[in-house]
A and B are shown apart, each in its own frame.
Chain A
Amino acid sequence: MGAAASAAAAWVPSRFAIGGEAPVRIGIMLPYTGVYAQLGENITSGLTMRLKATGDKLGGRTYELHKVDSEANPSKAVDNATKLVKGKDVDFVVGPVHSGVALAMTKVMAKSPKTIMICPNAGADELTRGACLRNVFRTSFSNWQTGFSMGAEVLKRGHRRVVTLTWKYAAGQEMMAAFGESFRKAGGADPVEQLWVDFPDAEFQPVLTRIAALKPDAVFAFFSGSGAVKFIRDYDTALDRKQIPLYGTGFLTEGVLDAVGNHAEGIVTALHWAETLDSPENRLFLGDFRKTTGRMADVFAVQGWDTGTLLYRALDTVKGDTGATKDLIQAMEDAEISGPRGVWHMSKSHNPIQDFYLRQVEGGRNKVLGIAHAQLEDPGTGCKM
């Protein structure tokens, strides 16, 4: 009898729960310590700002947040995700930043089809390809997208002999492979040479000497954080960027422009957002973020904000009924999101189909030149839902 009653209760949509409505339970699993702490903070700020902007209601219900520090540590990912999914019985998990953590989390998500994971950053291609789960969505980007968006552009600018350079780890390898793919698709040849540096090594002098000896038409590179700061400065000092121009994925120049000074002027990259993107949504967002946090918004804050929009839109469609998982997933698949980065929607494998903007560093800012690749879709290879 008791079992039957609880089974029946499980079927009753939570908005009809006896004794008033239960809040929507949202787990947040982001790094709040370590090198990715700032990313975790900015994603969280973007998300909570967006939820506040809806009057703190999702599909008519209140919500509560349960935060866990992911520490960007893959070996703790399964424990942390289980703590939220089983321990806190959350309806949604928002996270993580780190790709290794994301892939480990999918093991937990595969066993809890009623909980929905929304990844607001990690770019591993695998997450929306091989891992392929109905209840896993990504609101950020795939590494493939960030590399692919620049291939045709670099060739169009007349550079045929190109050297690629990145850290030898999954993200860098995926970006460079995608760059090569679009470069060849546009009629170019294979890179003259693919150079690698072990992650997170930042001694670039030997590879810069190698590039000088190869004399390519251009270099396409990806580094981030402190590695990017050192690379951009070293490149500019060792090589003449008029002779050998430097291109990169958008993350090369994200968040480092203050530290590199004028060494980055003129570098061209592509990303799904830019702080100089001139749209009412973006202007409003930049102002709000500055007012709320006192910091300059970045692409991570945008990803947090758009995650909030997706949650809001999906729960609105199902009128707050988190028990109706099928309809909820359908609503997320169908949602057309309009935010600071522009308009985007989910691909069949749950990765954003979005514009990649062509940006050039000018006066210490990533200035938008145009669109490098409109509504770019990750092929989602190997994912059939």
Chain B
Amino acid sequence: MDASFVLIQALNGVQYGILLFLVASGLTLVFGIMGVINLAHGSFYMIGAYLAYWLTAKTGSLGGAVALGIPIAFALGLAVERFAVSFLYGQDHLKQVLLTYGLILVLNELQRMLWGSDVHSVPVPEILRGTVRLTETLSYPIYRLFLSAACLALAGGMAWVVRRTRLGMTIRAAAADRETAGALGIDTDRLFSLVFGAGAVLAALAGMLAAPIESVAPGMGEQVLVLCLVIVVIGGIGSVKGAFLGAMAIGLADSFGKTLLPETAGLFVYGLMAAALVWRPQGLFARGT
């Protein structure tokens, strides 16, 4: 094994990790701020991918699809929050798990009714179609590099909103103590709707941006959900910083595991989670850090 092989595998791992982070960040945000375990988070990812497929076909460009897809995903997130999740604030997690599991089934059925059970793909936008030659046999698609850059920009934007803006301050205040924040004049109901909608948008946006390198197919949400739960557990529930490091760890473990120990690659991710839990049961960054 030479240095360039290790470097390229690290690139694969980081790129995969950044994408996973974008999905996991919405999950951990909703959990951290609202105390809601949303198992349907992966379904928003799937719906994002289908929106990209459908709207790219309609508008002829992925950019157009994303521009139209974000408000649709936001509206869907708001509707789900208002008509389902909002009844469960402060209730025990078992009820939330049951309800949001039911939502997975409903959203999967909705997907089947709207788009059928066929597999689809989304073309890579013309200007991002090329590849970069890495070795004499291996090329790297430019779109994957673009995807990483886009995800990092989003992560930066999210951190800026939460840390530096007034909105971020009220979000943090409501997360720390909902009742006091309410007494101080913050409309927490509206705020929670907004956060849930933003979580849905993050997942859907990840699905839309990943669509050109993924296959758009039924059930794609569940696969990514399992990885996101692992990431959130490793990183510490509710911590965005933890989700970032957790996603990087999973991405790298997957990339090196698959090539160094192909026979047991699948165990790598879960081994990592087990190790993290033994070392720090509350996750790398527990809530509030």
| Residues in A lying within 8 Å of B, measured CB to CB | 35, 37-38, 168, 193-198, 200-203, 205-210, 212-213, 215, 225-227, 229-230, 233-234, 237-240, 243-244, 255-256, 259-261
Instruction: List 16 A-B pairs, Cβ < 8 Å.
Output: A196-B262, A197-B258, A200-B223, A201-B266, A205-B16, A206-B12, A206-B256, A206-B259, A207-B258, A209-B12, A212-B137, A229-B121, A238-B138, A239-B138, A255-B119, A256-B119
Picked from B13, B137, B215, the residue with its CB within 8 Å of the CB of A259 is B215
Decide if A196 touches B215 in the complex (CB within 8 Å). no
Q: Which of B13, B123, B139 makes the CB contact (< 8 A) with A238?
A: B139
What is the CB-to-nearest-CB distance from A378 to chain B, in angstroms, rounded to a whole number?
27
Q: How far is the CA of A234 from the CA of B140 in the complex (A)?
A: 10
- B207 CB to nearest chain A CB (Å): 14
Smallest beta-carbon distance B234→chain A, Å: 18
B129: nearest residue on chain A (CB-CB)?
Answer: A237
Given A206-B255, A261-B123, A226 and B220 contact (CB-CB distance below 8 Å): yes
Q: Which residues of B contact A206 (CB under 8 A)?
A: 9, 12-13, 254-256, 258-259
Q: Are A226 and B265 in contact (CB under 8 A)?
A: no
A212→B219 contact, CB < 8 A = no
Alpha-carbon distance A260/B213, docked complex (angstroms) = 11
**Chain A contacts for B121, CB-based, 8 A:** 229, 233, 259-261
Given A226-B215, A237-B131, verify A243-B137 contact (CB < 8 Å): yes
The chain A residue sitting closest to B137, CB to CB, is A212
From 24 to 65 in chain B, residues with beta carbon under 8 angstroms from any chain A beta carbon are: none
**Least distance between B42 CB and chain A CB atoms (Å):** 14
CA distance A329 to B55 in the complex (A): 54
A209 B259 Cβ-Cβ under 8 A: yes
Known: A35-B117, A240-B139. A210 touches B258 (CB 8 A): yes
Compute how far the CA of A201 lies from the CA of B120 in the bound complex, rounded to whole angstroms: 17
Q: Which of B118, B119, B141, B254 has the largest number of chain A CB atoms within 10 A? A: B119
* A225 near B217: Cβ-Cβ < 8 Å: yes
Residue from B9, B137, B218 within 8 A of A35 (CB atoms): B218
A259-B262 CB under 8 A given contacts A35-B218, A35-B219, A212-B138? no
Q: Which of A194, A196, A213, A234 gathers most chain B CB within 10 Å?
A: A213
A240 to B263: give the CA distance in the assembly, Å: 26
The answer to whether B217 and A226 have CB atoms under 8 Å apart is yes
